[in-house]
Structure 1
Amino acid sequence: MTDDFPHTWQASVLNGAPMIMPARHFVFPLAIAGEEEALARGALWLNVKPVDGSNFVAQCALGFSDKNLASGLWSTPNPDHLLAVAGGYAYRIPASQPEATALLPIRPVVSVHAAPEAEALILIGFHDAVILTPDGMWQSPKLTWEGVTEVAVDGTILRGKGWHMPSDKELPFALDLRTQTLTGGGFNP
């Protein structure tokens, strides 16, 4: 678990299904077309204890079986939310209302980076990023034609490189996490 932001819940990753399932057990993703077989790939199991109420188990289906994709548990800029990433699929789970869990629109998530100064948690995909904030989330413009590399957080700026197809070069980018302004990058329409 990565604990970069204050939070109101406690959580742990389990090795599998608990021997005794608590009364509250949630399976994610919810019914989504094309995801009927997601749980067959495996799942990330979490035990979550919200600040108020009883604990619950969250079973988060793996997006992909690739070990190079992100998997794990992160605190987020919203103290009630936790982020579970299972084989590149990202689930934003409100600890006080787990039935409102959202499967995030970026698939697969390749890496996750905290930017505490910007109150942001950054999920990097193949072409762009999703940024979680205390009040919600936003999606970056395209950063590359394919593959974001050399990712680093510099205060409130996300830096990295992205492949520019016409020149076949990796070009640097800087994304201001407060203003949502992108400078540079490998994707120029």
Structure 2
Amino acid sequence: MTDRAVHESFEHSWTAEILPGRPLILPRRQYVYPNAAEEVERGALEVMVRPRADSGHEPFLATFALGFRDPLAPTGVWAMPNPEWLCAVSGGYAYCVHVMEPERFVFLRYRPVLQVLTYAPENGAAPEGLILFVGHYSVLAWGRDGEAWESDRLSWEGVTELKIEAESTDAGTRNVLRGMGWDLIQDREIPFTVDLATGQRV
């Protein structure tokens, strides 16, 4: 999943351009993620970020250290439920950055992130909006105010066939994440369903 695209599922207060390499002329503002990375430029994701024009903040170059060279590890930029944040994934290493204060960032503990999904509801559906980071065994969800929930172990060896859909219940409609996970005891893949509002299995 190395499409190196900018995904704009949520409203956001910035624009981003993924560069083919490090520019010869560097902007005045530059940030490297994570701060203590060694040889960060080797294979790094270089992104020119421009906060909205009326914010009073200058554009900056963001350099995101590469995680893995595996072609299955995602690389790209995602808008987040909070319009002032962006998420950059570089070879499965995921970084959430506050665009107005780029020194504020979170280096996600899932290393690697294997897939990124977005849930951007319409008409005020609950939850308000989530970006989902899929790891080998579980899923980590971020909402407008940061980390929203983490699922329990969904698999012993990777999750597959993920899809977000609405499900009817006696209490109404809820939005869920469905997928398949490998069960060590049963030695086979079994389906799972996670409530997007809580992160709990249903």
With the length of structure 2 as denominator, give the TM-score of the two structures.
0.85
| Equivalent in the alignment of 1:80 | 84
| Equivalent in the alignment of 1:172 | 191
Report % sequence identity: 40
Moved more, 19-28 or 40-49: 40-49
**Which amino acid is the alignment partner of residue 179 of structure 2?**
G
Q: 1:69 to 1:18 in 2, by over 3 A?
A: same
| Equivalent in the alignment of 2:99 | 95
Q: 1:168 to 1:40 in 2, by over 3 A?
A: farther
**Which amino acid is the alignment partner of residue 87 of structure 2?**
L
| Equivalent in the alignment of 1:25 | 30
Cα distance in 1 for partners of 2:120, 2:73 equals: 23
Cα deviation, 1:128-159, whole Å, max 9, x if unaligned, reads 11111001113221111110000111142111
Whether the 8 Å CA contact 1:41–1:65 is kept in 2: the answer is: no
Which ranges in structure 2 are unaligned for 5 or more consecutive residues? 1-5, 122-126, 167-174
The answer as to 2:157 corresponding to 1:146 is: yes
4+ aligned runs moved over 2 Å, structure 1: none
Measured after TM superposition, the shift of residue 98 of structure 1 is 0.7
Cα deviation, 1:10-54, whole Å, max 9, x if unaligned, reads 1111111112111110111122xxx545x2651000000112210
Measured after TM superposition, the shift of residue 181 of structure 1 is 1.4
The answer as to 2:127 corresponding to 1:116 is: no
The answer as to 2:30 corresponding to 1:49 is: no
Cα deviation, 1:61-120, whole Å, max 9, x if unaligned, reads 111111111110110101101110000000001100110111111110111111112300
* Matched length: 179
After superposition, the CA RMSD in angstroms is 1.3
Which ranges in structure 1 are unaligned for 5 or more consecutive residues? 184-189
**Which amino acid is the alignment partner of residue 190 of structure 2?**
L
Cα distance in 2 for partners of 1:179, 1:128 equals: 14
1:64 paired residue among 59, 68, 85:
68
Bigger CA radius of gyration: 2
